[in-house]
Chain A
């Protein structure tokens, strides 16, 4: 898939902020994630299907505030009976056993701006704009919250090095990018 970047006017590669006299590992890296399939899976309230019997690309649908992942697919919990499935593969084949009488499947591939932050100080960047207690959250967790008033979803990808993906509605993408990069200036960041 080849999608149009929602951040192409703001995401300019280079070094910014207080990056002098710091090595690559001490600054924050910011990356736009694009060309990824995103499907929303919602289980209808009146269905009696047990979600433990359903798998997507070999992954179970995760419980509250959790994610499940393999190298090609990542599933994050968005709310009760509501998940986002991100995949570099064509996910439609994996969703064939989700019957339309039991589940609503929606292609949201172009609906989100996805910004990935990597670096030691990214938790400090989150604390500047979000009321969430991010210190408790680790690899494999996810959370919906706000960042400077913008509704976002956080996906904690890794703790070594600290890596977080931040999803915002596409129309808020540029504002979210500016908010995040303003918060990163103090630590120095590299757009990659």
Chain B
């Protein structure tokens, strides 16, 4: 089981969290022509890296806040967590 440090509540069990996917994905700009490939990349295509990865987590059974976590996808080690308006 993972232990994740919520930036608001502190160290909690993974049971309280929901995984939210890759945090580096950027939505295409509003009011701009967007190609099918750009939409595909935004909605579906992920790199699925092995190693350090920045991802979104939701403390769904806690403070209900979204935050960013830097996690190693091979070892599951979590290096850092940060609020959404912070850089990681």
What residues of A have a CB within 8 angstroms of the CB of B62 in the complex?
79, 143-145
Could you tell me if B9 and A143 are in contact, using CB atoms closer than 8 angstroms? yes
Smallest CB gap from A64: residue in B: B8
Smallest CB gap from B3: residue in A: A131
Could you tell me if A132 and B13 are in contact, using CB atoms closer than 8 angstroms? yes
B interface: dominant SS: loop
Using a CB–CB distance below 8 Å, which chain A residues touch chain B? Answer: 64-65, 78-80, 82, 131-133, 143-146, 151
Is B63 at the interface (CB under 8 A from chain A)? yes
Assuming the A-B contacts A79-B65, A80-B63, A151-B61, are A146 and B9 also in contact, with contact meaning beta carbons closer than 8 angstroms in the complex? Answer: no
Is B80 at the interface (CB under 8 A from chain A)? no
Is B46 at the interface (CB under 8 A from chain A)? no
Taking A132-B12, A145-B16 as given, write out 9 further A-B residue pairs in contact, using a Cβ cutoff of 8 Å, ordered by the A residue number: A64-B10, A78-B63, A79-B62, A79-B64, A80-B65, A82-B63, A144-B61, A146-B15, A146-B16
Assuming the A-B contacts A78-B63, A145-B62, are A131 and B9 also in contact, with contact meaning beta carbons closer than 8 angstroms in the complex? Answer: no
Could you tell me if A131 and B8 are in contact, using CB atoms closer than 8 angstroms? no
Q: How far apart are the CA atoms of A176 and B62 in the complex, in Å?
A: 17
Interface residue total, chain B, C-beta cutoff 8 A: 15
Q: Which 9 pairs of residues, A with B, have the shortest CB-CB distance?
A: A131-B13, A79-B63, A151-B61, A144-B62, A146-B61, A131-B15, A79-B64, A80-B8, A146-B15
Chain A proximity mask over B1-23: 1 for CB below 8 Å, otherwise 0: 10000001111110110000000
Counted as pairs of residues, one from A and one from B, with CB atoms less than 8 Å apart, the total is 40
Could you tell me if A145 and B8 are in contact, using CB atoms closer than 8 angstroms? no
Using a CB–CB distance below 8 Å, which chain B residues touch chain A? Answer: 1, 8-13, 15-16, 60-65
Q: How far apart are the CA atoms of A24 and B8 in the complex, in Å?
A: 39
Smallest CB gap from A146: residue in B: B61
Closest approach, in angstroms, between the C-beta of A176 and any C-beta of chain B?
Answer: 13
CB<8 Å pairs between A and B, sample of 29: A64-B8, A64-B9, A65-B9, A65-B10, A78-B63, A79-B8, A79-B62, A79-B63, A79-B65, A80-B8, A82-B63, A82-B64, A131-B1, A131-B12, A131-B13, A131-B15, A132-B13, A133-B11, A143-B9, A143-B62, A144-B16, A144-B61, A144-B62, A144-B63, A145-B61, A145-B62, A146-B15, A151-B60, A151-B61
What residues of B have a CB within 8 angstroms of the CB of A65 in the complex?
9-10
Could you tell me if A145 and B65 are in contact, using CB atoms closer than 8 angstroms? no
What residues of B have a CB within 8 angstroms of the CB of A133 in the complex?
11
Q: How far apart are the CA atoms of A78 and B11 in the complex, in Å?
A: 16
